[in-house]
Each structure stands twice: as structure tokens, then as C-alpha cells.
Amino acid sequence: MAEPGNGRAVVIGVDSSTQSVKVEARELDSGTVVATGTARHPATSPPVSEQDPEAWWAALVGAMAALGDDARDRCVAISVAGQQHGCVLLDDADVPVRPAKLWNDTTSAPQADALVERFGAERWAADIGSVPVASFTITKLAWIAEHEPDALARATRVMLPHDYLTWRLTGEHVTDRGDASGSGWFDPTSNTVRADLLAAAVGDWDGDVPRVLGPTEPAGQLTAAAAAALGLPAGVVVAPGSGDNMGAAMGLGLGAGDVAISLGTSGTVFAVSNTATHDADGAVAGFASATGSFLPLVCTLNATKVTDTVARWFGTDPAGLADLALAARSEPGAVMLVPYFDGERTPNLPDATGTFVGLRNDTTREQLALAAHDGVLCGLLDGVDALRRVGATVDGRVFLVGGGARSTAYRQRCADLLGTVVTVPDADETVATGAAAQAAAIAGSIAVDDVARRWQLGTGTTVEPDPATDRRRRYAETIGAS
């Protein structure tokens, strides 16, 4: 196995998202990408959104094979950043008792409402930094306790998606404070598990939650079985990993005040903060970062899937829809889209649907395409205002990441609607990059921030704005009237 710091060592970052797993092998010293691989996950369709955790492992094995022998042989450390909030339950034979409920499964909305009503939004915000909604793991546990008590009774441990893959790698039932902060039973300010909140969701269930690791604490080493399955050397160190948004923050090298806007299946806006946030209104989740600070975040359920759907209606692809949208920038018309196609998380409207408002006989395809992009962005950019409202500093750099960042329309309209310069980073897969940076930090016993500087993370293409502030005002009026 290559030794850290000799110029040959490689680290591997894993991004296990709702749609796929992506792996990225980078040289430890320079951060140069030497190989990548990807594999699909089973498709889901909310409001019921579930996947077999075994499928994640099978996809990881397949994606790792694509890296090639050289990259795998040189690996010294690996880290997993995974989709947040999902609920994985294992029995005493370490087999999932049921498919994992994912973050975008909204069937637990009644349980979320009941938990908030029981203690009050202000207490939840004070205790864990967030007010639970249907995406949070604790609400999914409550749903299973109510609807599938036999499954819960057979379960001996609960974990989040990234925890499951870390467990498959190491045999250790662990998590990190970043991903734990989205569970609903962990206080990131005091770094403690709140057994009382967990009991409120599941009663006297005696299953185990993951042990929470610190930012520089390794999860362990690859087991012999995992090393053989993935084609990696024995002794590879496994970093603590984190949630996907925390991974993206590391992959961008975010500093205090920097803002990331992520366009994927969901949309997120987050910023690095040195202090915790507590929003009783529930718009801002008071998450922890993977590096010891905090990561206040706003999440919307509907992002690129909306424009993918509209593109399909138009008989084109996302790039074709982007071209149509940009053609309407000078004459956007009156039409706006409320993009709640799969319900919505922020605002908390799990049963909502999408609506085109302001349709006229002279509305064009181009204007409809622009409304689709603007609707997704306006709802998400309201999150920047929400971060500022709860005391987060958002006056630094603005990054646009995720699959939507490849879209010329999303890039330009994000800058236009914010009225500020937006940077699209050169690193295309920021979550996998962030996981790789964490692996490098663990392997080299240095801070992730030092890795980010050495690898020059956060550099990219800048997009200048042509301010379109009137569109955000009109979107707000549309939401208020709907």
C-alpha cells in the first residue's frame, strides 16, 4: 500500500446520493483526480420513497470497480458522504428489517406534526437546532413504530445512509456530528444524544443509535471482507464521513460567510457558521458541519426534477429547456411556477402540488421554460434571506453546485435573481470531493481546511448578474396568493 505523503498515495471520496453513487480517487498530496466511477441507485417516486440499503452497497462495489487497479492499489483512506436523514434499521443478524425510508419520503408528515405539537417548535429548535419535518430520521422511526411495530421490534440498531456504508466498510456503528444533526435525536451544540426525544418517537424501543465521532476521529479500518469486495488494500483508513451537504461544504472549502446553493433532486442553501442557529419557525435547520463548526441550512424538496419533468412535457432535454428559458430573459411575461410537484419541505407543505400562475393566450414555450427555472430558484433563494434572519453571516462568496449547476439557465438565473456574482466550481462532484478531502485530512493528520487550500478547492467559473429582482418579488406575491 502506498504511504501517505509520498506523492503516490490516493484517497477516495464517495457520494452516495438518492439517485446514484459516485466515487472519486484523488492524489493525496496534489488533489489531482486520477479516476472516477459511478453506478445508479433504484429510482424512487415520493411520497413513498424507499430503497434497499443492500443496493447502495452493490452500487458502491460497481462504482469502485470502475476506478481501475492502479487507483485502488494506491488507496490509503476512504470517506463516505451520503444522502441525509434516511432511516436504516438492522436486525441482530445485521440484515435490514425493511427498505430504508429516504429523506424525500413524506409519509411521516403526521408523525412530524405530532412530535412538534408534543413539545412545541421552540423547544425543538432549542434542543436540537431544528424543528423536525417529514424528512428527519426521527419522524420516520415514529412512522415505523406506528405502522410496522413488528419491524421495529426486530431492529437492534438504527443508522443513516452514510452510516450504513461506513458500517459495511468497517463493521463500526458510528456517525459524525454533521449527519447526526439531521437525525432529530442529537444536539449539535452540546454534542449529546437526546434519549428523551428518541423515546417520544418510539417509546421503550431499546435499539442502538450510532456513536458520534469527532471531525478528526477515524471510523476504523476496512474489514477484510470489505477490502476484498472493493478491491482495496488491507489497512485502508475509513474517515468518519458525513451527510451530503456537509461533504459539499468541505469540497468547496467554504469559510465563514460563504454560501452554497445546491441544485440536485432537492435544493439546498447553506452557509458555514461559527455559532449555532435555532429557528423556531422551522425554515432553517441548525445542522452541524463535518469540521467542527455549524452549517445552517434551508432545504426545498423540488429542484432539478421539476425542470426535468417540464423538459419531458416539451419533448426536449434539460439543456434544450435551458436554451428556451434564456431566450425569454428579456420578455419573461407574467407566468410564474409554484414548483411543489412532490409536496414541499420549506415551506412545510407535504401534500402541495405544482401550479403555473399567470397563464395567458400569448404565453410562450420560452416563458414557461423560464418560469420553471425561476420557480425552483426563487423558492430556494428565499433560503438565503432565512439564513440571514436567524443570524448567519451570508456576505461571502456564493457557489452554485449540484447537477443543476451544469445548466446554463440555472447558472445565469441564479446570478440574475440574487443580483450578485456566482461561482460554479471546477470540481464537478463537490460531495465526493469533500469526502476525499476529509479522507486526506484523516490520512495526513491535518485539518480539512488545509487540504482545501492545498487542493485549491472552490475555484471555478464566475457568472455575472443581470439583476432580475422584480421576478423574486412577483414570485413572493404568487406564493402569497396561492
Active centre residues (catalytic): 244
Give the three-state DSSP class for 249.
Answer: helix
Crossing angle of helices 365-389/469-481, nearest 10°? 90
Identify the CA nearest to 363 among candidates 403, 333, 399, 407: 333
How many Å apart are CA 190 and CA 7, to the nearest integer?
39
For every residue of 106-134, DSSP letters joined together read -TTHHHHHHHHHHH-HHHHHHHHSS---T
Amino acid at 429: E
How many Å apart are CA 94 and CA 171, to the nearest integer?
10
Q: What number of CA atoms fall less than 13 Å from residue 405's CA on the CB side?
A: 24
Amino acid at 363: T
Identify the CA nearest to 170 among candidates 221, 232, 215, 233: 221
Which residues fall within 8 angstroms of residue 126, CB to CB, at 6 or more apart? 278, 280
CA 415 to centroid of chain Cα atoms: 22
Q: What cell was used for 11?
A: 484517497
What residues pair up with 23 in beta bridges, in sequence order? 14, 37
Q: What cell was used for 199?
A: 423515546
Q: What cell was used for 62?
A: 460497481
Give the three-state DSSP class for 321.
Answer: helix
Residue 159 and residue 88 in contact, taking contact as beta carbons nearer than 8 Å? yes
Can you point out the beta strands (E) in 304-387? 336-338, 355-357
